[in-house]
Amino acid sequence: MNTTILRKSVLGIAGLAFAGGVFAGPVTEAHAAPAVEAKSVAVVQADKPGVDKDKLIPHGVQGKQSHIDLGDEQTANVKAIIAATKKSGMDERAAVVAIATALQESKLENLGHLGERNDHDSQGLFQQRPSSGWGTVEQITDPEYSTMAFLKGLKQVDGWKDMPLTKAAQTVQVSAYPDHYAQWEKQAADLVAKHWNS
């Protein structure tokens, strides 16, 4: 399928920490912020055998969708998130929530401390903070550990399966920009459809 995809980073690396786990500790409430409009749409390829399309995006998407092209490291991190989701006993929808969250927080790059560009200690795929109880730096920069930590928080969110993706992700992450997760739902679903059974 030929689709022109405009790569638009909603937040620069300098703003990643503030977009996500900066204020995070496992599962608390947050403040509302306006959603950011993005210009591109990813196509959900949920027709692979064994992937239930209704599980990937059961509530439809909210707002315009963003898309980025992934390199080898980012694709490996997608596969690590999916493997950790399966290991945790959670389903494809949990993987969609986790991947969309990591797309927003780090663009699926396992980020170390950003130094002066980040005055907090957020790191890894999910921009989790050691000082907020997510684990050690070594742990939260391990894709399997960080995903399992995120999913443990997601499991504690009562009714997460019945929530829009951005609300479920925000309840775990406690971001300064709670609506930003929504823009990655289609790309996350596409990635789960592509890699869940690979």
Whether 8 has a pLDDT exceeding 70, the answer reads no
Whether 4 has a pLDDT exceeding 50, the answer reads no
pLDDT tens digits, 139-158: 999 999 999 999 999 999 99
**Mean of per-residue pLDDT scores for the chain:** 77
Q: What is the pLDDT of residue 121?
A: 76
Looking at the chain, the number of H-run helices and the number of E-run strands are: 8, 0
φ, ψ at 85 (rounded to 5°): -65, -45
Q: What is the pLDDT of residue 114?
A: 63
In order, the DSSP letters of 34-86 are: PPPP-S--PPP---STT--HHHHSTT---S--------HHHHHHHHHHHHHHH
pLDDT tens digits, 76-128: 999 999 999 999 999 999 999 999 999 999 999 998 766 555 557 788 999 99
pTM of the model: 0.73
CA 97/CA 112 separation, integer angstroms = 22
